[in-house]
Amino acid sequence: MKGKKKGLTTVISLNIIPIILVILMTISIVGYMFATKIIQKQVTTQMETKLNETAESINTILQNQQALAQSTAKSVETSLGKLTEADYENLLMKQLPLYAETYGMGIWFEPFTVGERKQFAPFAHKEESKILADRSYSVGLDRIWETEWYVVGKASETGGWTKSYKDPKTNVGMVTTAYPMYQGEKFIGVTTVDIDLSSIQRLIANLKIDFAGKAVLVDTDGTYLGGVAKEQVMTQKISNNANKSLAASGKEMLKAKSGQSQYKDKNGKERFYYQTLELNGWKIGISVNESQLKADSNRLLLIFIGISLLGIAIVTLVIWRFASRLGKAAKTYSQIAQSVSAGNLMNEFAEADLARQDELGEIGRSLQEMQFNLKEVVQSFQLAATQIDDNAQNLSSFSQEMAATAETVAVSVSDVSMGTGNQYEKLKTVDQIVASFSQMISFMAGAIHEVGDSSQNINQLANRSQGGMTELMDSFETLDRSIKELIQRVDSVGSNMKQVNEMTELINGIAEQTNLLALNAAIEAARAGESGRGFAVVADEIRKLAEKSKGSAETIQTLIDDVYADTEGMISSTASVDQEITSQRKHIAVATRSFNGIIKAVEEMVPKIATAEESAIAINDSRETILKEVSETREIAETVSESAEEIAASAEEMSASTEEVSAAAMNLGQMTNEMREQIKFFTI
């Protein structure tokens, strides 16, 4: 059972569109994945850059404070023993205003380094807008050399940093940097700078981070220094956060120098980037919302999907239109091929299809050429069938005549064989009679030969007449085209005359308007007097209408010229028709002469055939005499009888052969008729 027939458009669409769909979807997916990786890489780079910038800012603040402690230590080393307590206080009070982050500064000496004083620690600090000296550390604090800042400063030649702490007086988060002092190679104490963390905390809090990001600053032990709620600063550690996921990321951060991790909170999944400050080991981290990170990727995915869908729609439309055009052309050629297979050779081909410069155009041109060649073959078969049929009829008639002649000869020879007698003297008479018989036979042969020549003339004349009739048909076709052209010319003359009438009406209308405007202009000018110049507008309108009248007149003239040209074309076409008619008369005259020649040839055949008939009668009359003489010559009769038997046998064979020829001619005529019937299958 055959499946349902599918059109070429459907087949092409079903085979190409899915492939393009897969390609576009693959490109979209690969592009989305590649773009996502690029975005993630850019985000990582952006966060690392932000970390570096923030770390650099904090390091700059800390380095400034460390440099302040170092410069103070060097000043004390060079001036040891020369400065009084007030001088040390003045030195500190001058250094404090240099940086807004500096809260307090102190100089802490080893016991008995300055005179006989066991504990000497000049100190100054900021209090609101004032800078105050504080001598309480020199008298009121025992064992200052065991404090964290002193131990840190003494432990390294480059100094160090304390852990962050909250000042009990100001309740402000602070950190202290300490730098050692030496006299030669002898350690004599440390200088300290107390740093207010508020500015660093504000720096962390005010960071502008994309993707809903936020920053956090923690101490080396994980204590929050900034970036969290105020109550958590200096009191909680990131590793002890209630959010176990964040606590795990915090522990990971404390162990590594830099890196990234993930944790979850109420806003969803967060990506956490962190880095260590080289100066004091603090950790700075930046967290960004994962959904915000993927927002760009999701938008990009939507863009890819939209572009893919648009591309699919456009490609589908283009393929569908292209396939429809192919399918339309293929369907047209298929219908033509089916029509040809049904015997119709009158199919018409569209010029647009034949003008195509592709395979379909070649197919169309090949089909047209095939139809044309097939039409010529069929026409040739029709002509050949007619000629074969005529020749077959002539052959059949000639065979029948030969058969009749053979029978006559056989009968005559049979009669001769019946004679008896052996008189030798009668042979002369027989010889004379036979000689006369021979002459008659020769004359009959000549007449028959002339009949054959006349038949050939008839055939040639008939062929020429056929050619004349063909030319006559061609001439009439040309006459038909000329008449059609004449009709077109007449139509053209009618159309132009219509346009002449329209132009005439337009000129009349413009003339009327021109008269009215001219009248109005004259009246207004007369009333206005000097101010009549304002009626220039009316005059201008008159001018425009006059120009239109002129243009219409020119158009009318052009149309009249066209009418004349068309009239001349009509005359030319009429002359062509006249010439064609004259030509047809000549061709008809030729055809008439040809047929007259045929008639004349036939008329010439009639007396010759009559002569042949008279000869046959004479032969028949002489037969009795021959029989009489032969009966008197028995011996000769026997010889003649034997010869007559042989002649009779040959005559019978010739009769049989002529019957076969006649049968073959009849078969040929039948085959010709069958071929004609088959050729009628074609419509040309």
CATH number at residue 106: 3.30.450.20
What are 631-654's pLDDT values in tens digits?
665 565 566 567 657 766 766 776
**Among 289-298, 339-348, 473-482, 672-681, the least confident range:** 473-482
Compute the average pLDDT of residues 22-28.
Answer: 77
Instruction: Output the DSSP codes for 29-87.
Output: HHHHHHHHHHHHHHHHHHHHHHHHHHHHHHHHHHHHHHHHHHHHHHHHHHHTTT--HHH
456 and 603 part of one domain: yes
Task: Confirm whether 475 is domain-assigned.
Answer: yes
Chain-wide mean pLDDT for the chain? 76
User: Given this model, what pLDDT does residue 316 score?
Assistant: 77
- Which helix or strand (DSSP H or E) is residue 127 part of? strand 123-127
Residue 160 pLDDT > 90: yes
CATH number where 570 lies: 1.10.287.2610
The winner for highest mean pLDDT among 127-136, 186-195, 509-518 is 186-195
Task: State the pLDDT at residue 535.
Answer: 63
Quote the pLDDT of residue 432. Answer: 64
Task: Tell whether the model's pLDDT for residue 144 goes beyond 90.
Answer: no
Confidence band (pLDDT; 50, 70, 90) for 423? very low
Instruction: Specify if 178 maps to a domain.
Output: yes
Strand partners, 237: 223
- Are 37 and 181 found together in one domain? yes
Residues 335-368: pLDDT tens digits?
777 777 777 777 777 777 777 777 767 787 887 7
171 lies in the same domain as 292: yes
pLDDT grade, residue 533 (50/70/90)? Answer: low
Asked if residue 588 and residue 448 are part of one domain, the reply reads yes
- Mean pLDDT check: name the lowest of 229-233, 345-349, 489-493: 489-493
Name the token pair of 532.
């009549």
Is residue 304 located within the same domain as residue 438?
Answer: no
Residue 598 lies in a domain: yes
Domain-embedded: residue 260: yes
Q: How far apart are CA 305 and CA 29, in angstroms?
A: 9
What was the pLDDT predicted at 1? 46
Separation of alpha carbons 377 and 469, rounded Å: 20
The model carries a pTM of 0.45
- The answer to which of 137-151, 253-267, 569-583 has the lowest mean pLDDT is 569-583
Picking from 282-286, 304-308, 320-324, 641-645, which range would have the lowest pLDDT averaged per residue? Answer: 641-645
Query: Do 136 and 265 belong to one domain?
Result: yes
Q: How many Cβ atoms are within 10 Å of 403's Cβ, its own excluded?
A: 18
What is the per-residue pLDDT for 115? 85
User: Which of residues 632, 661, 676 is at a domain's end?
Assistant: 632
Residue 440 clears pLDDT 60, i.e. is over it:
no
Does residue 353 sit within a domain?
A: no
26 with 174, same domain: the answer is yes
Q: Tens digits of per-residue pLDDT, 401-417? A: 666 665 675 666 566 55
Between 35 and 122, residue with greater pLDDT: 122
Question: Is residue 300 domain-shared with residue 432, that is, in the same domain?
Answer: no
Identify residue 417 by its one-letter amino acid code: S
Domain end (from 310, 340, 363): 310
One-letter amino acid for residue 89 of the chain: E
Residue 200 in tokens: 């660093």
pLDDT digits (tens, 9 = 90+) for 202-224: 999 888 888 778 899 999 999 99
Query: Is 374 part of a structural domain of the chain?
Result: no
| 343 assigned to some structural domain | no
List the Cα angle 149/89/96 in 5-degree steps.
70
- Domain identity same for 460 and 609: yes
The answer to whether residues 189 and 108 touch, using CB atoms and an 8 Å cutoff, is yes
Residues 62 and 177 sit within 8 Å (Cβ to Cβ): yes
Lowest mean pLDDT segment, chosen from 268-272, 434-438, 505-509: 434-438
Higher-confidence residue of 460 and 231: namely 231
Instruction: Say whether both 476 and 605 belong to one domain.
Output: yes
Is 48 in the same domain as 188? yes
pLDDT higher at 203 or 677: 203
Count of structural domains, the chain: 2
Return the pLDDT at 610: 62
Q: At 473, is the pLDDT very low, low, confident or very high (cuts 50, 70, 90)?
A: low
| pLDDT at position 318 | 78
* First-to-final CA distance of the chain: 36
The CA distance from 503 to 158, in Å, is 111
**Domain assignment of residue 52, given as a range:** 1-310
pLDDT at 173 over 50: yes
Predicted local confidence at residue 454, as pLDDT: 59
Same domain, 442 and 591: yes
More confident residue, 533 or 216: 216
Residue 420: its pLDDT value, please?
41
Tell me, what's the pLDDT at 133? Answer: 93
Residue 108's alpha-carbon distances to 96, 118, 148, 150, 184, in angstroms, are: 16, 11, 12, 8, 17
Across the range 167-174, mean pLDDT stands at 83
Q: Is residue 213 part of a domain?
A: yes
Q: Is the pLDDT of residue 284 over 50?
A: yes
Q: At residue 357, what are phi and psi to the nearest 5 degrees?
A: -100, 50
% of the chain at pLDDT higher than 90: 24
Question: Residues 231-246: what's their mean pLDDT?
Answer: 91
- Model confidence at 169, pLDDT cuts 50, 70, 90, reads confident
- Predicted pLDDT at 172: 86
Q: What is the pLDDT of residues 98-110, one digit of tens each?
A: 999 999 999 999 9
Cα separation, 378 vs 528, whole angstroms: 92
